[in-house]
């Protein structure tokens, strides 16, 4: 297991699903994990579970669509814990509609949270990471950002943009020993997919060579590697965790 002792990680969207799994995985490997999301209720439950398991966790309320809130979350992380070594941009929303039906506010809401929010967090974390000459930036994109998906033009644009942002950040910060990588999950079993019918899930599974939907733990494992010292020579990459449904 990759060890992260002494590292401080900020994970957005950590109150459930993939973000919760990432927070718990990083904590299990020794990191102090700052869990961020819009509301503190469920977030505190995640932090309490980490602490009960012997890990170190903190919570911060942060709205990724609010620039000031995002900057404050990064600043508070550094103030409380003395550094920010790992930033995981996981928070995201959907406002699915066909292009012809999509309202401008649906487009703006998704781009503001899923792309601009990540950009703001990266920009805020850049100065302390450059100063300490160490950083791991990991952006959770999506397989649909690589292949497109009907009814999700806003979400796809945000996730594709996140991949491009990752590559640019990797080039800008490499000289300061700060890496930036993206993870692109495929179909993952989360609260978002729990409401799908068994027939729909079966159709999804037919597209996956490994024959199953992924789990949040599958994504957390990939993030843990990219957050580690062992991944110090990996930057600007897109790690696809999709069971083989898309092989770029």
CATH of the domain at 213: 3.40.50.720
Q: Is 223 inside any structural domain?
A: yes
Q: Give me the chain's average pLDDT, please.
A: 95
- Structurally, the chain folds into a number of domains equal to 1
Q: Is 165 inside any structural domain?
A: yes
Q: Is 43 inside any structural domain?
A: yes
Report residue 195's pLDDT band, with 50, 70 and 90 as the boundaries: low
Catalytic residues: 155
Q: Is 85 inside any structural domain?
A: yes
pLDDT, residue 192, reads 67
Q: Domain limits at 196? A: 8-235
Q: Is 2 inside any structural domain?
A: no
The residues, any chain, with a CB within 8 Å of residue 160's CB and separated by 6 or more, are 141, 145, 146
Rounded to two decimals, the pTM is: 0.96
Q: Is 19 inside any structural domain?
A: yes
Q: Is 248 inside any structural domain?
A: no
- Which run of H or E residues covers position 182? strand 178-185
Q: Is 244 inside any structural domain?
A: no
Strand order in 178-185's β-sheet?
Answer: 56-61, 32-37, 8-12, 86-89, 135-140, 178-185, 238-241
- Is the pLDDT score of 1 beyond 70? no
């Amino acid at each position: 297991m990759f060890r992260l002792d002494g590292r401080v990680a900020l994970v957005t969207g950590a109150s459930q699903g993939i973000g919760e799994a990432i927070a718990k995985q990083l904590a299990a490997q020794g990191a102090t994990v700052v869990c961020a999301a819009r509301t503190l209720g469920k977030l505190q439950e995640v932090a309490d579970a980490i602490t009960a398991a012997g890990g170190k966790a903190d919570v911060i309320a942060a709205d990724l669509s609010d620039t000031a809130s995002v900057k404050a979350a990064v600043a508070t992380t550094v103030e409380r814990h003395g550094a920010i070594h790992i930033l995981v941009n996981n928070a995201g929303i959907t406002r699915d509609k066909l292009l012809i039906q999509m309202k401008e506010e649906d487009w703006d809401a998704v781009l503001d949270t899923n792309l601009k929010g990540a950009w703001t967090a990266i920009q805020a974390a850049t100065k302390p990471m450059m100063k300490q000459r160490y950083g791991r930036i990991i952006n959770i994109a999506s397989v649909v950002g690589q292949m497109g998906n009907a009814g999700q033009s806003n979400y796809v644009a945000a996730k594709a943009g996140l991949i491009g942002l990752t590559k640019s950040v990797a080039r800008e910060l490499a000289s300061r020993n700060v890496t930036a990588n993206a993870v692109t999950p495929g179909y993952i079993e989360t609260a978002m997919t729990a409401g799908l019918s068994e027939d729909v899930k079966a159709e999804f599974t037919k597209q996956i060579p490994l024959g199953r939907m992924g789990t949040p733990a599958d994504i957390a494992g990939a993030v843990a590697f990219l957050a580690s010292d062992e991944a110090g020579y990996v930057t600007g990459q897109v790690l696809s965790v999709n069971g083989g449904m898309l092989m770029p």
